[in-house]
Amino acid sequence: MVIKVENLVKRYGELIALDHFNMELREGEILGLLGPNGSGKTTAINCILSLLKYDKGEIQVFDKKMSPVAYDIKQDIGIVMQNVAVFNELTVYENIDYFCSLYVPDKKKRQEMVEEAIAFAGLGEFRKFYPHKLSGGLLRRLNIACGIAHKPKLVILDEPTVAVDPQSRNNILEGIVKLNKQGATILYTSHYMEEVDQICTRIAIMDRGKVISSGTNEELKSMIGLGEKITVDVPGISREAVEGIRALPNISKVELSGNTLVVKSKKGRNNLGAVLHYLEDHNIAFGKLYSELPTLNDVFLEITGKELRDNV
Ligand SMILES: Nc1ncnc2c1ncn2[C@@H]1O[C@H](COP(=O)(O)OP(=O)(O)OP(=O)(O)O)[C@@H](O)[C@H]1O
C-alpha cells in the first residue's frame, strides 16, 4: 500500500471539507480522485502530505505514519500542485535543477536527471527561457518537470491540466502514463471525467468530502443500471410514438427535448436495433441517430442525483 487514509475529517470552521474520507492507493496504480469543484480533493492531498492539520483520521504513506517531519517519506514523493510554483528569477533549466537539488546533491547525477525531466516535459527548446516568457501550458509542464525530476516513487498531481491548451494537456496526460510505466505510483485529481477515464487504472469518485464509490472504470460503469444512451433526431414525432418507444422492452427512460429524443436503456442486447426498428416500422422520419455507453458522469448522476458536469 502506498497511501492509506482512514476516516479523515477536516473542518474549516463550520465547514466540513472532509467527512470520513477513506482512500487506498496501491503500488503501481494511477488512482484518479474525481470530484466536482469544492468536493475536497485539494484538502485531502494537503492532509495526506501533512501540509494541513486535520481533526481526525489516520494517514499512512509507504506503510508509515505521515507527519510534517517525515522527511524520509517526503523524499520519495513528487508533488505537482494546482498553482504553478516556480522561481521567476531562474530559467527553465535552473528551476528544475533547483528542485531536484533538494533531493539529489550529486551535481553530475542531477544533470542527467534534469535533462531527462526537460525531455519528458518537452521543454528542450525552452530550457533557457524564464517562466514569464512561457505560455500557461508550458508553465504547467515546467511545474511538473520540477516535481518529478528526482524520480519519486509516488507522484501526486492536483488538477495539472486546468486551463491548459490541448497540446500541453496531451503532453501532460501521456507523461503521467509514461511515469507510471517507468514505475511511479500516481495519485491524480481532476474534475474532468474524460481524463480520468483515459489514464487511470482505478478511480475514486468524491462528493462533499467523501469517496462515494471506487473501482476500475469498467467496475464503476457496470455498477449502474444504464446500458446505453440512444440519441435520435426526430422532427415532428407524435406523442403516441414517444409512448410506443417508452413501452419497448428494456427501456428505462425516454425524454423528448425539441426534436431530439434521448432513450436510456437498461443493460441488454440490441437496444439500438429495437429503437431503429420501431422508427422504421412506424414510418417515423429521423435524422442523426447514435448510441453511447455510460460515462463516469452517468455513474456520478446515479449515485448523487446531480451531474458532475454541472459542477464544473
Ligand atoms: N482555507 C480554507 N478555508 C475555508 N474553506 C476552505 C479552505 N480551503 C478549502 N475550503 C473549502 O473546503 C471545501 C473543499 O475545498 P477543496 O479545495 O479541497 O476542494 P477541491 O475538490 O479541491 O476543489 P477545487 O478543484 O475547486 O480546488 C470547499 O467548500 C472549499 O470552499
Task: Report the pLDDT averaged over residues 123-148.
Answer: 94
Q: What is the pLDDT of residue 216?
A: 92
* Between 156 and 82, the higher pLDDT residue: 156
Least confident of 99-103, 125-129, 169-173: 169-173
Sign of the Cα pseudo-torsion (44, 46, 49, 54, in order)? negative
List, chain by chain if needed, residues with CB within 6 Å of any ligand 1 atom.
Answer: 12, 15, 17, 35, 37-43, 159, 191
Mean pLDDT of the 153-172 span: 89
DSSP string, 42-85: HHHHHHHTTSS--SEEEEEETTEE--TT-HHHHTTEEEE-SS--
The mean of the pLDDT values for the chain is 91
Nearest to 43 by CA among 57, 30, 29: 57
Confidence of residue 310 (pLDDT cuts 50, 70, 90): low
Name the residue of 9, 33, 34, 42 whose CB sits within 8 Å of the most ligand 1 atoms, as the mutation to test its pocket.
42
pLDDT at 309: 66
Q: What is the pLDDT of residues 254-301, one digit of tens each?
A: 999 999 999 999 877 788 899 999 999 999 999 999 998 888 888 888
**11 Cα–ligand 1 center, Å:** 10
pLDDT in tens, 112-128: 999 999 998 999 999 99
Ligand 1 nearest atom to the CA of residue 42, by list position: 22
User: Ligand 1, atom 3: nearest CA belongs to which residue?
Assistant: 12
Question: What percent of the chain stands above pLDDT 70?
Answer: 99
How far does residue 37's CA lie from ligand 1's centre (Å)?
A: 8
Q: Which residue has the cell 533557457?
A: 128
CA distance 190 to 179: 18
- Determine the atom of ligand 1 nearest the C-alpha atom of 36: 21
Which ligand 1 atom minimizes the distance to the CA of 13? 4
pLDDT for position 311: 47
The pLDDT of residue 312: 43
| pLDDT tens by residue, 180-190 | 999 999 999 98
pTM: 0.85
pLDDT at 302: 82
Whole-number Å distance, alpha carbon 159 to ligand 1 midpoint, is: 13
Ligand 1 centre to CA of 306 (Å) is 19
Ligand 1 atom having least distance to the Cα of 162: 25
Given 3-state DSSP classes, what are the helix, strand and coil percentages for the chain, each rounded to the nearest 5? 35, 30, 35
Whether the complex's predicted ipTM surpasses the cut of 0.85: yes
Distance between CA 243 and CA 246 in Å, rounded? Answer: 5
Average of pLDDT values for 164-169?
A: 86
Instruction: Tell me the per-residue pLDDT of 193-247, one tens digit each, with 9 for 90 and over.
Output: 888 989 999 999 999 999 999 999 888 888 887 788 899 999 989 999 999 999 9
Report CA(209)–ligand 1 centroid distance (Å).
10
**HEC states along 191-216?**
CCHHHHHHHCCEEEEEECCEEEEEEC
pLDDT band at 41 (very low <50, low <70, confident <90, very high): very high
Domains in the chain, ordered, with CATH?
3-221 (3.40.50.300), 225-293 (3.30.70.980)
38 CA → ligand 1 middle, Å: 5
